[in-house]
Structure 1
Amino acid sequence: MSATRTWFITGASRGFGALWTEAVLERGDQVAATARDAAVLKPLADRFGSRLLPLALDVTDRTAVDTAVHSAEQQLGGIDVLVNNAGHMLVGAVEEVSAEQARAQMDVNYFGSLWTTRAVLPGMRERRSGRILQVSSFGGLVAYPALGIYQASKWALEAMSQSLAAEVGAYGIHVTLIEPIMFPTGLAEGSPRSQPDPAYDHARQALYTGASESGFVPGDPAATSAALLAVADAPNPPPRVLFGTGGLDALRTEYAGRLAGLEEWDHISRLAQGNPVRK
């Protein structure tokens, strides 16, 4: 696509968000980029001038999200592409994490994306076009020990986004879930951790052992920029796309196991069905 587009990218201060914001600007589009501290975006603002609108934003604040989206629409025009990238990864067994940590994880990863998505939808529906790129995770498709709350936030994002896609397709709006597998972006290092309980040392060990035995090879975060632009430019983008290699084999094993388990216990499914009298 050659026409200049307007993007709204959350979590633009580091990792994928920083790389993608720069890539979008370098190709000539304009971006409303958000970070909790907009000052970190100053180097990009100095380079790209008015094509970058830096916005301070905590995505968990729904009123602030609405205000930021409105500001972007007023200053840059209608938002063509939303990238919900803001998030963190809480490490800890389900019993270990505090209530505050669990709520914060859902507030950022799920509700933050929900509020931003809802804020851009009226404009996209009115223009009958738009792209919503939800940054999920390979952990949005499978679940590993010691990451249950993080992955729950991504599973929630997956379900919401799949339903959303069916709701807004009639308005020319495409929704794509991006599933990064393994990239050294600093996400884990910059995320909170629970207070470890020795009772779950085995769960953490299983996570680390599984990661080392998965066969996943860390990808180049910079290379994801070209992949993101390709998805955003595709006439008919996919509902889901893996970023990185090795995921398909792992998913084949995961889903085959799920189906095998359901088939093994199908007699219970039939027991639960009963024999209702048809009228």
Structure 2
Amino acid sequence: MTVAVMGAGAVGCFYGGMLARAGHRVTLIGRPQHVEAIGRGGLRMDTKSFDERVPVQASTEASAVAGAQLVLFCVKSGDTESAGEEIRPHLAPGAVVLSLQNGVDNAERLRRVLPQHTVAAVVVYVATEMAGPGHLKHHGRGDLVIEPFTGSDELARTLIAAGVPTEVSADVRGALWAKLTINCAYNALSAVAQLPYGGLLKVDGVRDVIGDVIAECLAVAAAEGITVPGDVTAATWRIGETMPGQYSSTAQDVARGKLSEIDHLNGLVVRRGDALGVPTPANRVLHVMVKLVEAKRASA
């Protein structure tokens, strides 16, 4: 299979790298420092089960999606429309685009930009970071839940064969809200404190704040008419226990002086809560705190 990864940061490099390692033709499209390092020595995949340099193509140009049967769309939520516009002229007819992004509305927004192509939402459960140029560090998990479409079962089998546990589910919307709730619980706190999940949970009062965030997210989801599957509270505590050394993606962005996706996490819950008449004070405070940290770093 010919695969392109648009926005090859940590998430894109992990899944693109797994497919390349399984023998598929993969092109990573990302930042120059990573592209240059990958061009010299391949993608270093430093994972829980192996540490290898995986040969893979890399480019800084959106036009590198040309000819791809599958596009893993992994850009930040704030760049969804602009990145979609960039790849649109170069997409092959029949190309499938999977949205492997944080937040709950990226696939909907991307479909408006790419109306001629199959765009599917994917829930991503993986803990990764870029430890250096061309160096992927994997901390845990790696499973996907994919929205059904024509050919989704076959694609799931391909991903499973590449070592990526994959499920096709008709309830991706509920699963996206479950993932959003977990992100809202940890991302802002990890960013403001610059602590990993395990460190957060050791601080007095943090579990109470996280409990408030979860309750607000579930209340907004219910007002939206969405049933969130499973026990989200238990799943949230498991994340902290099984990935104690993981920093949230928001914490990684803030540490690097980059704008985070907080507007599409806690900020989205606040906006939807306001529209639906659901109070979201805990999410509002966390959203504002991250915006303050971003503003301070920008002014510095």
TM above 0.5? no
User: Normalised by the size of structure 1, how large is the TM-score?
Assistant: 0.44
Structure with the largest fraction of strand: 2
Structure 1 or 2, whichever has the larger Rg, is: 1
User: Normalised by the size of structure 2, how large is the TM-score?
Assistant: 0.41
